Structure 1
């Protein structure tokens, strides 16, 4: 019977070692240590810590797929673990506090009574050089038997070796790997990287963009007044001569009546003075003044009539009326020349690009652009730059940038005015090394001043 039990323990130890060797990374190894060893030690909970002393951190908790460090228990555990390490030193062993243990801080004793059983059996996992890689802790109701301690210490040697090998595989710096190469291969690697850094590529920049009309006509207020009526809807196609909006004519109608009465009075005075001039020399001298006043009043009347004729603004050509909400314009005072809307030709769309200053690259007229519309992200539209700017202005989002305009290479019905997206701009060809280091070098220069 004893021989059968020893054989079973040997098989269990071999199985634990095989699972440790099968781990593909440190996370899998920690999971195996915290969960697969239950058959060897009937623990209440198992904990695996990565590192040693102040650098030690909780990696795995038995029964949990992920460690949530904001739970009250784990917050307390992070406080108690540095103190426990001091009690163990760097040796495996069993620790069980006593009721009147003055060396244990009160907050640790309170948490122990709430969350932990009688004691903890901890063993360090070391490199072959003796350096501590991590810790495995098992919370038990009773101290482990001599046979259990012997078996778990034996398995811990395999855990330590696997941990060391996985750590070398996962965390080996690239320069350490380079050192393992022969001198010839190192030179080949350096030459390959240098050749790759000289590979010519286009400078590129990404910027928000909007489809606009290239030859849009500004429709402005012809005189000072108040908007009375908007005759069209936003983005509505219109024909040449069709009414777009009208200004309120109340003030002008009143001025027209006053001007007409002034002309009638001036004409009557001129006629009366003309009749008197045949017998009265004084009347003859007043004729020139009254005649000039009559011409003045008629000119004022003509000016008011001309303004009345301009209160209805019509489209100068066929196109699409582009403006905001009509309700925002109704009853709004406007001044002469203030833009109300744009009259655009939908058959001649273009792109307005706001290139942030931080992302600016060297650009010339004719450089290619790809527009990725938000509604069609997988179908880029080709265009070329037709206009650049040298002065940065604020974009609608409040970001300082350069305004660029581009024309589509081919006519595309998908490019409807008003659609937005992201433009990818291709600048001059530069070496890959310059492309990768351009912004870091600019930051260093700003910081250093050279």
Structure 2
């Protein structure tokens, strides 16, 4: 039986497997970098090694715990690595030809490193935030050349660097919300395959799609504040000059025809009516006296006509004041809902004849009123459709058709000017008068690009000379 030799070197494949295992269980990137520059010696003999990245410079050196970024050796290594090639897809091994390096780098090579060196480049990936182009520089005394048989170790080195690079990227957790990552992904998706014909690439297709979308016909719509108002209300105005004494109904109360609504202060009218009645009685007494005297006195007969005219004048004054007294009690002319402000704001307040006090509207006789801003006054066809989205019920829209749009803009309480729009409802509603919301008014069909740019173009047009 032959004895097993325990001093034989381990198989390169077993070494590669062990290095891969150690790379996968590494705790952090510092441990991974230390493993790469120091343990790669088990696959290929070298004297010095350096790990370099395009962003950050020299990351780790063999035999050194911490890299001093400002050291001359580190600065020179950074210049060397910047001149070496970078892989596109996976790690690649190449022999460093010192004689072809730039003069400033080649002049100091013999001072810092042996002449024989290998460069294993690391690719960068746009799909991972931790992937940065870089490479591993190995320098030693053994000459590296394919004719000498050293090339057999190149696949092992490339596989080891590929495994290490995978473990390195695993240390970085890509964030889905990273702006850089999304920008890179969108850039790669936008450019796509460059070997296709121009009409098969994404930019022309997207431009064609956007153009088609911008030319799609859409309804020209505008939004305006609106509310439910009575369609044909009966306006109750002050029948005389006076002071309101009391209200017999409350706001939003349902009344019947002939029901008392409010009344004026009766004291001034009552006193004037009493004076007029006394004046009428005095005129009638004077007429009777003149009539008795006319029997015996012919001169008194001529005074009868004047006395009779005076009686008519006083009678007219008394009748007018009586009618005013009766009109001081205002009655409802029809059935409906009473619409007015707080009664306490009216009681004791002097009003003039014709001043509006309240309105009476039929419960189902309502329509939509909207105020269209001057900048939103679009051309509307006859019976243009509108929708009212009440603040109380935002998910239930009331549909209607435009009845008329005012020709003149009116001043609003907020100081702006707007056009009054009235629209009849398509169907009866149970919503009460006075509820407010937003009205969506639909005009004619226009291209989508006009719908988007209508307001900006209108603003720009105001600053451009004709």
Judge same fold: TM > 0.5, yes or no. Answer: yes
1:382 aligns with 2:376: no
**Equivalents in 2 of 1:192, 1:309: separation in Å?**
77
Q: Partner of 1:259 in structure 2?
A: 276
**Equivalents in 2 of 1:298, 1:381: separation in Å?**
57
Q: After the TM superposition, which residues 232-243 of structure 1 pair with which residues of structure 2 at under 5 Å, given as runs? A: 232-243=249-260
1:369 aligns with 2:372: no
Q: After the TM superposition, which residues 9-408 of structure 1 pair with which residues of structure 2 at under 5 Å, given as runs? A: 12-13=28-29, 166=181, 168-169=183-184, 182-185=197-200, 186-408=203-425
- SS in structure 2 opposite 1:204? strand
Q: Partner of 1:434 in structure 2?
A: 450
- SS in structure 1 opposite 2:463? helix
**Equivalents in 1 of 2:299, 2:381: separation in Å?**
78
CA contact under 8 A between 2:364 and 2:429: conserved in structure 1? no
Q: Partner of 2:13 in structure 1?
A: none
Q: CA 1:225 to 1:364, structure 2 compared with 1: closer, same or farther past 3 Å?
A: farther
**Equivalents in 1 of 2:286, 2:31: separation in Å?**
125
191-200 or 266-275: bigger deviation? 191-200
Q: CA 1:178 to 1:317, structure 2 compared with 1: closer, same or farther past 3 Å?
A: farther
**Equivalents in 1 of 2:402, 2:69: separation in Å?**
71
CA contact under 8 A between 1:239 and 1:315: conserved in structure 2? yes
Unaligned runs of 5+ in 1: 18-32, 34-90, 95-127, 130-153
**Equivalents in 2 of 1:331, 1:279: separation in Å?**
57
**Equivalents in 2 of 1:350, 1:367: separation in Å?**
14
Q: Partner of 1:143 in structure 2?
A: none
Q: CA 1:283 to 1:379, structure 2 compared with 1: closer, same or farther past 3 Å?
A: same
Q: CA 1:92 to 1:443, structure 2 compared with 1: closer, same or farther past 3 Å?
A: farther
Aligned length: 318
Q: Partner of 2:110 in structure 1?
A: none
- SS in structure 2 opposite 1:422? strand
**TM, length-normalised to structure 2:** 0.61
Larger radius of gyration: 2
**Equivalents in 2 of 1:329, 1:298: separation in Å?**
34
- SS in structure 1 opposite 2:289? helix
Q: Partner of 2:441 in structure 1?
A: 425
**Equivalents in 1 of 2:423, 2:260: separation in Å?**
31
Aligned CA-pair RMSD: 3.8
What is the deviation of 1:419? Answer: 1.2
**Equivalents in 2 of 1:348, 1:257: separation in Å?**
44
**Equivalents in 2 of 1:444, 1:178: separation in Å?**
38
CA contact under 8 A between 2:258 and 2:331: conserved in structure 1? yes
**Equivalents in 2 of 1:365, 1:294: separation in Å?**
62
CA contact under 8 A between 1:323 and 1:342: conserved in structure 2? yes
Q: Partner of 1:445 in structure 2?
A: 461
CA contact under 8 A between 1:365 and 1:388: conserved in structure 2? no
What is the deviation of 1:173? Answer: 12
Q: CA 1:288 to 1:177, structure 2 compared with 1: closer, same or farther past 3 Å?
A: farther
**Equivalents in 1 of 2:205, 2:447: separation in Å?**
20
Q: CA 1:93 to 1:436, structure 2 compared with 1: closer, same or farther past 3 Å?
A: farther
What is the deviation of 1:348? Answer: 1.6
CA contact under 8 A between 1:218 and 1:339: conserved in structure 2? yes
**Equivalents in 1 of 2:219, 2:291: separation in Å?**
86
CA offsets per residue over residues 270-291 of structure 1, 9 Å max, x none?
A: 1111211233233222222221
What is the deviation of 1:179? Answer: 12
Q: CA 1:342 to 1:170, structure 2 compared with 1: closer, same or farther past 3 Å?
A: farther
What is the deviation of 1:178? Answer: 10
Unaligned runs of 5+ in 2: 1-18, 34-55, 57-67, 72-81, 84-121, 134-173
CA contact under 8 A between 1:238 and 1:321: conserved in structure 2? yes
Q: Partner of 1:45 in structure 2?
A: none
